[in-house]
Amino acid sequence: MTKANVNIIKWAVCFILPIIVMLVPATEYFTADIRTFLAVTVFLIALLATENVSAPAVALLMPVAYIIIVGAPPASAFGAWTQPIPWMVLGSFILSYGMEKSGLIKRIALRCVILTGGSYVGIIVGMVLAGGIVSLVITDLSAKAIIFSTLALSICKVLKLELGSKASAGIALSVMIATLDPGTLFMHGTTNILVPLSVAQEAGMAHPTWGEYLIHMFVPHLIFIALCVVALLFMFKLDAETKTSLSQSKENLIGELKSLGPISLDEKKLIAVSVLLIAGILTNGSLHNVHIGWIFLLAGVVLLLPGINIVTPPELGKCNIPFVIVVAAFMSMGMVSNFVQFGAFFAELATPFISGSTHHIFGGLFAFGFLINLILTPLAAYSAFTGPVVMIAESLGVNPLPLVYTFSMTMEQIVFPFQFVPVLIIFGYGMISFKDMVVYNIVKTLISLACILTIYIGWWYFIGLI
């Protein structure tokens, strides 16, 4: 099939899907406003999925389409721009660029890998540990995927590992874990928890403080990460020959660290800014009530100031600013869905399937999230369905917070690389085969479901969250 024919099919899909939605008769619950909102949303997401239009262009079109076609007020269509999350992402982008430019990220990761032994196991554990440390100051998953993938590829070259081998595949999967999972240990560590919590708050759920979130999630999620690492090491165990060839790996990695030279002035400045950033986050609610999003933005601005000057104004173009527009647009999708009362409609529709015992509710939500994740990007799913999840919880008379946590974690369970940009970035570095990544991701998804139904629920009962 020619490229022209493929493009025709893609455009046809983009227009046929919303037409099908508009042909569905309106009812008392499925109102004309909801139908129009869904048709516009399906069209925009189809444009994004088929890559007929770039993500920033779709993001800019989205609020305008909601205002003109759906009749949403500008306060809803552009509401996310007044919220701290998009600005937090921008601050994190500036910080991540500064850290990558200065070499601080590479120094931290190599130091973690060496401290954990420098062996194959040490590399994997060290990479995940570095992911946790970096998540304290960088929220964006794509930035982390690029940073850690570049480092992992460098490690494979230093250790002379064949790309696609078990060893390089294991290291690639450690990058995936480091990118996706340690950030969830902290409320500010990933947009995959910040966005659903923000959307849930718009739907009426009480937003947890940073300390409350830590109590809710740190222990069970740490166990989940540990089990994912154990599964990785079991599935990608090295043969004796490869183990022998890696016997000098620690010395090679120490050499790589020494090649970075002494810590630079820019790195010291970044460490100071990061320490102040973390201090600002930890004292939120005790010494001040400034949202951590504004603290992140302030930290990013500091890097631009005279005397600091780690990131220059021309370099802002390298800080992935278009993605900030995408985040704001998809968050606004959630606000517009509240305006047309899509959440109430969907909650009414889905509640019979996500009800019953505690395990039935959480298991049903996991299955629903997993299926949605095969169709939508996580950001789109959070924006469209977190509000309904809150309403379902309210209709069942249960605390919505653990359900929002569960929905967030479900969206991170990716089977195919193309489902999520950060995972696709990691796959694109060529360190792991498609088959190996898919097989491990299926195992990781099963671990996640098992942990939610046992460890997470058990912990939430123990602390009184359920």
CA pair distance 159, 118, nearest whole angstrom:
11
Asked if residue 109 and residue 214 are part of one domain, the reply reads yes
Single out the residue of 45, 21, 36 nearest to residue 68, CA to CA: 36
H or E element, residue 233: helix 210-235
Asked if residues 44 and 329 have their Cβ atoms less than 8 Å apart, the reply is no
Q: How many residues does the chain have?
A: 466
Residue-level pLDDT at 245:
66
Q: Is residue 458 in some structural domain? A: yes
Residue-level pLDDT at 61:
92
Asked if residue 285 and residue 240 are part of one domain, the reply reads yes
Q: Write out the chain's pLDDT in tens, 466 residues.
A: 677 777 888 899 899 999 999 999 988 778 899 899 989 988 988 887 787 888 888 889 999 999 999 999 998 889 888 888 788 878 888 887 888 888 887 888 788 778 777 788 888 998 898 888 888 887 778 778 877 887 888 788 777 788 888 888 999 999 999 998 998 998 888 878 888 888 888 878 888 888 899 999 999 999 999 999 999 999 998 877 777 666 667 777 788 788 888 989 999 998 898 888 888 877 876 677 787 788 888 988 999 998 888 988 888 887 778 878 887 887 788 788 878 877 777 777 777 777 778 888 899 889 888 888 776 777 778 877 888 888 888 888 889 999 999 999 988 888 888 777 788 788 887 888 888 998 999 999 999 999 999 999 999 999 999 8
3-state SS assignment for residue 288: strand
Q: Is residue 14 in some structural domain? A: yes
Single out the residue of 89, 62, 87, 88 nearest to residue 76, CA to CA: 62
Asked if residue 107 and residue 30 are part of one domain, the reply reads no
Asked if residue 92 and residue 191 are part of one domain, the reply reads yes
What tens digit of pLDDT does each residue of 339-360 get? 887 777 777 777 777 777 888 8
Asked if residue 32 and residue 120 are part of one domain, the reply reads no
Expressed as residue numbers, the domain containing 8 is: 1-71
Asked if residue 175 and residue 236 are part of one domain, the reply reads yes
Q: Is residue 361 in some structural domain? A: no
Q: What is the mean pLDDT of the chain?
A: 85
Residue-level pLDDT at 246:
66
Q: Is residue 355 in some structural domain? A: no
What tens digit of pLDDT does each residue of 219-269 get? 999 999 999 999 999 999 887 777 766 666 777 778 878 888 898 999 999
Burial of 316 (0-12, 13-18, 19+ CB in 10 A): middle
Q: Is residue 363 in some structural domain? A: no
Residues 6+ apart with CB under 8 A from 321: 90, 93
Please state the domain count of the chain. Answer: 2
Q: Is residue 371 in some structural domain? A: no
User: Taken in order 203, 283, 320, 420, is the CA torsion positive or negative?
Assistant: negative
Beta bridge partners of 284: 288
Asked if residue 168 and residue 107 are part of one domain, the reply reads yes
CA pair distance 150, 412, nearest whole angstrom:
22
Residue-level pLDDT at 401:
93
Asked if residues 335 and 76 have their Cβ atoms less than 8 Å apart, the reply is yes
Q: Is residue 397 in some structural domain? A: no
Q: Is residue 134 in some structural domain? A: yes
Q: Quickly tell me which residue has 């079109």 as its tokens.
A: 61
What tens digit of pLDDT does each residue of 74-117 get? 988 898 888 887 888 788 888 878 888 888 878 887 887 787 77
Residue-level pLDDT at 458:
95
Last residue of a domain, one of 71, 104, 132: 71
Other CB atoms within 10 Å distance of the CB of residue 307: 6
Asked if residue 92 and residue 59 are part of one domain, the reply reads no
Q: Give phi and psi for 284, each to the nearest 5.
A: -65, 125
Asked if residue 177 and residue 91 are part of one domain, the reply reads yes
Note the Cα 23 to chain centre separation in Å.
Answer: 35
Residue-level pLDDT at 136:
82
Asked if residue 186 and residue 42 are part of one domain, the reply reads no
